[in-house]
Structure 1
Amino acid sequence: MAEHSHLETRLEHLLAVVQELSLARTLDEVTAIVRHAARALVGADGATFVLRDCDQCFYADEEAISPLWKGKRFPMDICASGWVMRQARALVIEDVFVDPRIPGDAYRPTFVKSMAMVPIRRASPIGAIGTYWACPRVASEDELKVLQALADSTSIALTNVELYNDLERRVRERTAQLEALNDELGAFAYAVSHDLRAPLRAIAGFSRALDERCGPALDARGRDCLARVRRGAARMDRMIDDMLDLSRARGGPDGPRRESVDMSALVRSVAAELQAGQTSRRVRVVVQDGLVAVADAGLVRVLLQNLLGNAFKFTRPRAEPMVEVGAEVSPAGELVYHVRDNGVGFDAARAGELFGAFHRLHDSAEFPGDGIGLATVQRIVRRHRGRIWAESAPGGGASFYWTLAPASAEPVPRDISAESDARRGGAATALVGAQ
């Protein structure tokens, strides 16, 4: 009965050790856990953690009543751990000075009289766990089973460490690649800003001069061609500005700056600016009170300028245009912001095209634009480790939803449903630009 109880205690200890090993992320963590556990599981006076290094045995770590061989290397064919790895099976020795399989002289400077050693990994062992006693002793079958179970768990832990380190290396390499691409994008933006704008200014300037000097002398066809050149130059200038905005939305190398942003006030400010730019029509903007975010205020302003600008634009055919801005907490605990309008909407089947640069779902003659705004919005949201999506139907208005993850949040939040009708109740409101 006592033996059975002792075995149960060992198994409970082993289970705790296995759980601890599953969390180890470095070789040092693994060896520290294993050396202590091996000694405690069988009541040994010492334990070693040995790794195979080509044709040598490397004593990587130890825990013992006095020093053994930590940091030393021995040829595979002259030490006990080498025998265990070559034979791929356990070794039990009651008297280290009389067993022909190991050189007894190697143990004379130590306390070791008896030992038990098991391989790490049954097929093609990569190491061994040794336990030692200061007096003659024969390890029992149960002790060997427990030690071998520890060694098997150690093999898995070492594989996990290798995979984890490889993953970290890949992440570092990928991060370096992305930083290099961002640097290239910054250089491209600089080139666009300076190198491309010089010839564009020449086109715009000379075409304006031509119009002023020779416009009256041109026939209708000539005046139309000249007008097309000037409109094309102006559109190219706007596209350059849009591309620079998209580039700036990438933020700095350390991610966007985080500060408390009064979203309600920011929405009202942006809406007022948009309303001031179109005095011929009034858009009713309903803003939920108390909207806040921890985000980069400058980038959030750009996000709102684009989303509200689109809402203003695509409600133009409506007799009573309306835009609503608010937020609600999702079932998953995320704060989900939204901008809704009662505009012309779009085909939901093409929603995947919305956020591509220069992609448009409407005729540019009816709704002018370069198709870069939503790509900029998506980049800003991603910089804040959030998500953005949209819902709509032709003629049924559009709803855009987005999240801005906290600085300490995980990068991939859970998906939630975004049913429009479920998000409309209970918000205090204010009107901006209403008649």
Structure 2
Amino acid sequence: MRILHLEDDPADSRSIERLLKAHGLSPRLIRASTAEAFRHEIERGDFDAVLVDSGVPGFDGVSAVRLSKHVNPQTPVIMCSGAARSEDIDQALREGASDYVDKQELWRLVAALNRARGSNVESSIERLSSQHAAMSRLVGVVQELSLARDLAGVMTIAKRAARALTDADGATFVLREGSTCFYADEEAVSPSWKGRHLVLGECAAGLSILSARPIAVEDVARDPRAAVAAYRSTAVKSLVMAPIRTAAPMGAIGVYWARQHACTSDELMLLEALANTTAVAMENVRVYDELESRVRTRTRALEAANEELEAFTYAVSHDLRAPVRALSGEIGIMLEEFGALDPALRTRLQSAKGHVARMYELIDDLLRLSGITPRELTIERFDLGAMAAQIVERLRNGQPQRAIDLRVERGVYVDADRGLMSVLMDNLLSNAWKYTSQRIDARIEFRTITDDDSRRFFQVIDNGAGFDPRYSRRLFQPFQRLHSAREFAGTGVGLATVQRIVRRHDGEVWGESDGPDRGATFSFTLGTSDGADAES
């Protein structure tokens, strides 16, 4: 048991130590015979009790009690003297001493210490309970601050929490603005400084910001760190300021009392924890604002790009299609009206008409490709197998002479954009129809498969021309073709269109082949919610 003893007579200290040992208390007395020694030891703390004589030269017992309770409020203090006056005893008890024992009745000291220790245990339990409640409240505040998305929200949460955590009469939120403090917000019955600016070095908030340390002012009328003029017209008697962030503080959170109040270590710890958490919340707000600004900038850029794309589409539709159509018409008129043309010239005109037709087809494909990305998806549930069957039937009606084995899985329900999926299926099935045109035993199949992770894949399979798998990456690039126009007509835009549609549905698409003349399989997915578990 560590006991600090204010006593200038070593014999008295030894007597007390022997007495306590005799009663099994195992004391370790640290004797302080001067005011300086007492202050040094009391500030080091870690004592189970403090005994004070009525005084030592230059330092009275009442002052010792007052100092001890101020520095370590939870440590019990007992006045033990043989010459104390009754008024000194009463004053010591008012200052916080738990008991008085006359040196002529030292036997009472053991009971007095036991009572003080028991009271201290109860006080410690009460303190721990209070600390737990405060920390629970602080955790809730941290959660609130983590959700704040603007500075006003952060200030509202922080100022209310500061007042509640310290049981203060008011709280203020201060921001640093250059060389001044801006009192941005206040939580009080009657705000005193909200909206005001004070010079950094002339107020407690500014000093806390400049020093990056908390400042506690017990008496604003006497402490030079407080701007007395600023508080003269208010009811503020005591205050504490804690910097928001210790590295380059961006402001401070302050609390104040209308009564003189000595800030405890628990209150200061809670206020510092709140200020540090507030700093993180303010940085989150800054990052959030920056990200929102970037999103807005990017959105404007995308909108501008879409507008340019729409303008380009309009130009293609009206400025290019019209002259190409006119040129095709002129060539047609020449072929009809000048029947006696030289055969070589007629052949050249017919070739030119074919090139014009191909250019017209290319313009249509470009328009179709450019229209995939800007439009909004209209999601609905439908049978993709039934759609595939309709496209296949149209292809068969266009070339009824072809003998081809067509297999289409029905009941393939998906949640997707019906219009875009029609373009996708038309491209894949038309490609399969085209690239099997040179086979006698042509075969085309549309089916679905499911892997071990229950992911569904859609496949269009044919036994047609196939392709060299080394060049499969070029399949979905616009205007890239793995077969010449002499072998198979086309513009090289169809599969690029397919890829855009699939990506709009958060899916993937790829092509596979074992090589030329060995057929091809084109597979695609439609993301995670394509209606795989839906019933018809």
- Find 1:376's aligned residue among 480, 497, 500: 497
DSSP 3-state at the match of 2:187: strand
1:34 and 2:155 matched = no
Alpha-carbon spacing, 1:341–1:58, altered in 2? closer, same or farther (3 Å):
farther
CA–CA distance in structure 2, aligned partners of residues 335 and 38 of structure 1: 56
Larger Rg: 2
Alpha-carbon spacing, 1:208–1:290, altered in 2? closer, same or farther (3 Å):
closer
Q: Contact 1:328 / 1:337 at 8 angstroms: preserved in 2?
A: no
Q: Could you report, residue by residue, the CA deviation over 1:403-429 in whole angstroms, capped at 9, with x for unpaired residues?
A: 15779xxxxxxxxxxxxxxx9xx9999
Which one has more relative contact order, counting CA pairs under 8 Å at least 6 apart?
1
Q: Counterparts of 1:96-135 in structure 2 under 5 Å?
A: 96-135=220-259
Alpha-carbon spacing, 1:275–1:140, altered in 2? closer, same or farther (3 Å):
farther
CA–CA distance in structure 1, aligned partners of residues 412 and 525 of structure 2: 17
Q: Contact 2:408 / 2:447 at 8 angstroms: preserved in 1?
A: yes
Equivalent position of 1:326 in the other structure: 448
Sequence identity, in percent?
44
Offset at residue 106 of structure 1 (A)? 2.1
DSSP 3-state at the match of 1:321: strand
Q: Contact 1:31 / 1:49 at 8 angstroms: preserved in 2?
A: yes
CA–CA distance in structure 1, aligned partners of residues 378 and 323 of structure 2: 36
CA–CA distance in structure 1, aligned partners of residues 332 and 215 of structure 2: 94
TM-score by length of 2: 0.68
CA–CA distance in structure 1, aligned partners of residues 172 and 449 of structure 2: 59
CA–CA distance in structure 2, aligned partners of residues 225 and 32 of structure 1: 82
Equivalent position of 2:275 in the other structure: 151
- Find 2:362's aligned residue among 236, 239, 242: 239
- Find 1:303's aligned residue among 415, 421, 424: 424
1:359 and 2:480 matched = yes
Alpha-carbon spacing, 1:230–1:6, altered in 2? closer, same or farther (3 Å):
same
Q: Counterparts of 1:63-212 in structure 2 under 5 Å?
A: 63-212=187-336
Unmatched 5+ residue regions in structure 2? 1-123
Alpha-carbon spacing, 1:112–1:251, altered in 2? closer, same or farther (3 Å):
same
- Find 2:414's aligned residue among 268, 292, 309: 292
CA–CA distance in structure 2, aligned partners of residues 326 and 311 of structure 1: 17
Aligned partner of 2:369: which letter? L
CA–CA distance in structure 1, aligned partners of residues 458 and 184 of structure 2: 55
Offset at residue 8 of structure 1 (A)? 4.2
Aligned partner of 2:407: which letter? V
TM-score by length of 1: 0.83
Aligned partner of 1:305: which letter? D
CA–CA distance in structure 2, aligned partners of residues 142 and 106 of structure 1: 27
Equivalent position of 2:392 in the other structure: 271
Equivalent position of 2:76 in the other structure: none
CA–CA distance in structure 2, aligned partners of residues 164 and 305 of structure 1: 44
Equivalent position of 2:508 in the other structure: 388
Offset at residue 194 of structure 1 (A)? 1.3
Further displaced range: 42-51 or 114-123:
42-51
Q: Contact 1:118 / 1:148 at 8 angstroms: preserved in 2?
A: yes
Further displaced range: 351-360 or 364-373:
351-360
* Equivalences, count: 406
DSSP 3-state at the match of 2:485: coil
DSSP 3-state at the match of 2:242: strand
Offset at residue 342 of structure 1 (A)? 4.2
Alpha-carbon spacing, 1:335–1:58, altered in 2? closer, same or farther (3 Å):
farther
Runs of 4+, deviation exceeding 6 Å: 426-429
Q: Counterparts of 1:223-234 in structure 2 under 5 Å?
A: 223-234=346-357
Offset at residue 338 of structure 1 (A)? 4.2
CA–CA distance in structure 2, aligned partners of residues 302 and 52 of structure 1: 60
Q: Contact 1:46 / 1:62 at 8 angstroms: preserved in 2?
A: yes
- Find 2:144's aligned residue among 8, 11, 20: 20
Equivalent position of 2:104 in the other structure: none
CA–CA distance in structure 2, aligned partners of residues 55 and 345 of structure 1: 75
Alpha-carbon spacing, 1:96–1:245, altered in 2? closer, same or farther (3 Å):
same
DSSP 3-state at the match of 1:95: coil
Q: Could you report, residue by residue, the CA deviation over 1:105-150 in whole angstroms, capped at 9, with x for unpaired residues?
A: 3224444221111111212211111122232222233432332232
Alpha-carbon spacing, 1:306–1:115, altered in 2? closer, same or farther (3 Å):
same
CA–CA distance in structure 1, aligned partners of residues 389 and 182 of structure 2: 69
Q: Contact 1:311 / 1:323 at 8 angstroms: preserved in 2?
A: no
Q: Could you report, residue by residue, the CA deviation over 1:141-193 in whole angstroms, capped at 9, with x for unpaired residues?
A: 34323322322222222122111111111111111111111111111111111
CA–CA distance in structure 1, aligned partners of residues 303 and 534 of structure 2: 42
DSSP 3-state at the match of 1:303: helix
Offset at residue 226 of structure 1 (A)? 2.5
CA–CA distance in structure 2, aligned partners of residues 350 and 428 of structure 1: 39
Alpha-carbon spacing, 1:391–1:206, altered in 2? closer, same or farther (3 Å):
closer
Unmatched 5+ residue regions in structure 1? 408-422, 430-435
DSSP 3-state at the match of 2:247: coil
Q: Contact 2:502 / 2:509 at 8 angstroms: preserved in 1?
A: no
Further displaced range: 263-272 or 80-89:
263-272
Q: Contact 2:509 / 2:524 at 8 angstroms: preserved in 1?
A: yes
Offset at residue 23 of structure 1 (A)? 2.8
